[in-house]
Amino acid sequence: MFSRVLLSTDFSEQAEEAYPWAAKLASCDGGTVVLMHALEDDLVATAPVFAGYMAPGALDLGSYRDEFRAGAKRALEAAADKLRELGVQVEPVLVERGKPSQAIVAASKELNCNMIVISTHGRGGLAHLLLGSTAEKVVRTSPIPVLTVQRGQKDGAKA
C-alpha cells in the first residue's frame, strides 16, 4: 500500500520524531523511505531575523551555497543511517528548488511516492501567522495522503 513513503526532514528534533512512523509505514510492504530535505533557493529567507536588515548582495551567499549543500548531504546521510537502524530501505534525496512545501509535493510526484510523512513544529499564534506552516501547506496541496507527526508522538515504531 505504501511502497514509497516520502519523509521530509529539516533535521530538527521534531523532524526525527517522524522517522519511526515513516519506517513503520514503509516496512509494512517492504517499501522504501524516500528521505528528503529541501534546501531553499533563497538562503537569506532561511534567516528571517536578519533578512529585513540586510541589503541585497551584502553577503556573497553564492559562496556559501556549496557549504550549505555539502552540510545538507552529510545531514541526510546521518538521518538515513538512523532510518536504516529501524530496518528500512532508505533513498536520500536533496532538493534544491523553491519553497519547501512546494518542493515536497513536487518531489512526491516525481519520485512516485504514495504517502508523505512530515513533522509539525507546533508553532501557534504570531509565529504561525508570520512563518506559516510547511506541513499545513503540504496537507492542503498534496494529491497523496499526508501523515503529520506532532511533537511528542515518538511511538511510531509501535503503531
Q: List the domain boundaries for the chain.
A: 4-158
Q: Predicted confidence band at 60 (pLDDT cuts at 50, 70, 90)? A: low
Q: pLDDT tens across 110-146, in order?
A: 999 999 999 987 555 444 444 458 888 999 999 999 9
What is the C-alpha separation between 126 and 18, in angstroms, rounded? 25
All cell numbers assigned to 157: 515504531
pTM over 0.75: yes
CB-based contacts of 93, cutoff 8 Å, min separation 6: 34, 35, 36, 37, 76, 107, 111
**pLDDT over 90 at 150, yes or no:** no
What residue type is assigned to position 23 of the chain?
A
pLDDT score at 128:
46
Helical H segments across 7-153, by residue range: 13-16, 19-27, 48-51, 62-84, 100-110, 125-131, 134-141
Q: Indicate the helix (H) or strand (E) that contains 89.
A: strand 89-95
Q: For the structural domain made of 4-158, what CATH number should be given?
A: 3.40.50.620
Q: Name the residue with cell 553577503.
A: 59
pLDDT in the model for residue 14: 87
Residue 12 has pLDDT above 90, yes or no: no
Torsion angle of C-alpha atoms 55, 60, 61, 67, degrees rounded to 10: -150
Note whether 65 and 39 are within 8 A (CB). no
Q: What is the pLDDT of residues 27-53, one digit of tens each?
A: 988 999 999 999 876 555 555 444 555
Average pLDDT taken over every residue of the chain: 82
Please give the Cα distance from 43 to 93 (Å, whole number).
Answer: 19
Is residue 55 pLDDT above 70, yes or no? no
According to the model, what pLDDT value does residue 61 have? Answer: 57
Quote the CA–CA distance of 39 and 16 in Å, as a whole number. Answer: 17
**72 and 103 Cβ atoms separated by less than 8 Å:** no
Query: Residue 81: its pLDDT value, please?
Result: 97
Cell (9 digits) for 140: 492542503
